[in-house]
Amino acid sequence: MSLFGDAIGWILDGAHWGGPSGIDTRILQHLAVTFAAVGIAAVLAIPLGVLIGHTGRGRLVVVALAGAVRAVPTLGLLTLLGLALGIGIEAPLLALVALGFPSLLAGAYAGVEAADAGAVDAARAVGMSEWQIVTRVEIPLGADVLLGGIRAATLQIVATATLAAYISDTGLGRYLFAGLKSRDYAQMLAGALLVAALALVLDLTLAALQRASRPTQGKVPS
Amino acid sequence: MTWLDLNRSYAVDMLVQHVRLAVPAIAISVLVAVVLGRVAWRWPKVGTAVLGGASLLYSVPALPLLIVIPVVLGIPLRSGLTLIVALAVYGTALLAGTAADAFRSVDPRVREAAEAMGFSSMGLFWKVDLPLAVPVLLSGVRVITVSTVSLVTIGALVGIPSLGNLLTDGFQRGIREEILTGLIGTMLLAIVLDALLVATGAVLTPWRRTAEATG
C-alpha cells in the first residue's frame, strides 16, 4: 500500500509541476481536449436530438445508433484514426467526439420528448411558433435530461481522454504510459489518481449544475 | 484480408483470451449486482447508499482503475485477474441499479399470492421474484455485456492479451487490416454474446412467449 504514498509523493513533488510536461500543464491539456470534444459533439448532436424529439421522427435510428456505438471499442477507433491521420491530437479528438455523440443525442431527444404534452399543446394554442415552442417550452422543460446527457458524455470523454496520450503528447494519460514504459509504478499510479480525481470533480460539478437547472414551482420562463 | 489469412491462429488465440476475460467479468457482475440490487430493494435506505457508491465507482475511469487494482489487491498488473476485477467493478456499478429496478418491477399482488400459498422466503426469491425480475435484469445485462467486451481491449495497453492486442500491434506496425480485424472481431463477439443472452432470456421466461401467442 506504500505505493499509494509514493504516488501522492510524486504528485506533491515540486519538480513535477510547471513546464511543458508539468502536472498543471497536463491537467489543462486534459481539460482542453475534453471540452473541445464535448463542444464539437454537442454542436453536432444536440440540434439533431432536439429535432428528433420535437418531430418524433427517427427515434429508432437513435436507439440503434447508441447501441452500435457502445459496441465499438474506442481504442480500435483511436488506432484506426491514428493510422490514417498520423501522430497528433486530430485522431484522439475525432474518436472522443464519436464517443460522446450518442449520449448527447439521446439526452437532447429524450429531454425534448419528455416535455409535458399539455404544455406543448397549450403553447401552440396561444399561438407560439414551432421555434418558440422548442426554445421556450420544450428545451427549458427538458433541460434536466439534456444536461444529464451532457454530463454522461463529459464523464465518458474525460475518462477516455487518457487514451489520447497513446497517440499524441497530450493530457494526464502521458504519466500513465510513461510510467508503464519505464516501469515507474509511482508515476503511473499518480497519473491514474489524477485522472480519477479530475473525472470525479467534473462529474460532481455537472451534477450540481443539473440540480440547479430543475425548474422550481412558479418560475415560468417569460 | 491477407493479414487474417497469415495470422489466423494468432487472431483466434486472442479471441479466446478475450472471451476468457469478458465472460467471467460479466458473470461476477451479474452475481454481485443481483445481491446488491436485492439488498437495495429490501432495505431502501441501505440501497440509496449502495447505489450512490456504485455510481461513484462508475465515474472512475477504466484505465486508471486498471492501475489502482493491483496495488489494492496485491496482484500483478499484467495478470488477467486484474482486468477481470476491474471490469467486474464496472459491470456491477452499472448493473446494481437495474437489478434493484428489476425486483421493484415484480407485481406485489403476485408476491402476496405466493406468500398466501405458503412459499418460504427462499422459495419466494428463487421461484417468484428472481424469474419475474429476469426481463428487466436482462436488459441491464445486455448493456454491460456489450460495454465489457469493448472495454477488455484496453487491457492490451498494460499487457493483458486480448483482441485489443490486434489494435495496439496493428497501430505500432502500421497494419490497417490487423486493427480492423481486432475492431470487427470485438464487435462481432459482442453481437454473438448479446444474441446468446436474448436466447437465454427467452428460455428463462417461457410465459412471455405464451402471452404473446395468446395475445
Q: What confidence tens digit (pLDDT) does each residue in B87-96 have? A: 999 999 989 9
Instruction: With CB atoms and an 8 Å threshold, state whether B170 touches A79.
Output: yes
Q: Which of B53, B85, B88 is nearest to B71 (CA)?
A: B85
DSSP string of A65-82? HHHHHHHS-HHHHHHHHH
Look over chain B and give the mean of its residue pLDDT values, rounded to a whole number. Answer: 91
- The domain spans of chain A are 3-216
Interface test with B, best of A10, A33, A79, A80 (most B CBs within 10 A): A79
Question: Cα A116 vs. chain centroid, distance in angstroms?
Answer: 27
Position with higher pLDDT, B102 vs A117: B102
Would an 8 Å CB–CB cutoff place A208 in contact with chain B? Answer: no
**Position A221 confidence tier, pLDDT thresholds 50, 70, 90:** low
ipTM for the assembly: 0.86
Residue in chain B nearest A2 by alpha carbon: B71
Q: Kindly report, residue by residue over A109-153, the tens digit of the pLDDT.
A: 888 888 888 888 899 999 998 889 988 888 888 888 899 999 999
Residues A91 and A84: beta-carbon distance below 8 Å: yes
Would an 8 Å CB–CB cutoff place B197 in contact with chain A? Answer: no
Is residue A162 over pLDDT 70? yes
Q: Which of B195, B133, B144 is nearest to A71 (CA)?
A: B144
* Residue B185 to residue B7: CA distance in whole angstroms: 14
Instruction: With CB atoms and an 8 Å threshold, state whether A200 touches B186.
Output: no
Q: Chain B closest CA to A83's CA: distance in Å?
A: 6
Q: Chain A closest CA to B69's CA: distance in Å?
A: 10
Q: Chain B closest CA to A211's CA: distance in Å?
A: 16
Give the whole-number percent of chain B exceeding pLDDT 90.
63
Is residue A65 over pLDDT 70? yes
Pick the CATH number of A3-216 from 1.10.3470.10, 3.30.360.10, 1.10.10.10, 1.10.3720.10: 1.10.3720.10
Residues B34 and B91: beta-carbon distance below 8 Å: no
Would an 8 Å CB–CB cutoff place B117 in contact with chain A? Answer: no
Would an 8 Å CB–CB cutoff place B22 in contact with chain A? Answer: no
Give the three cell numbers for residue A108: 437532447
Q: Kindly report, residue by residue over B171-212, the tens digit of the pLDDT.
A: 999 999 999 999 999 999 999 999 999 999 999 988 887 776
State the pTM of this model: 0.87
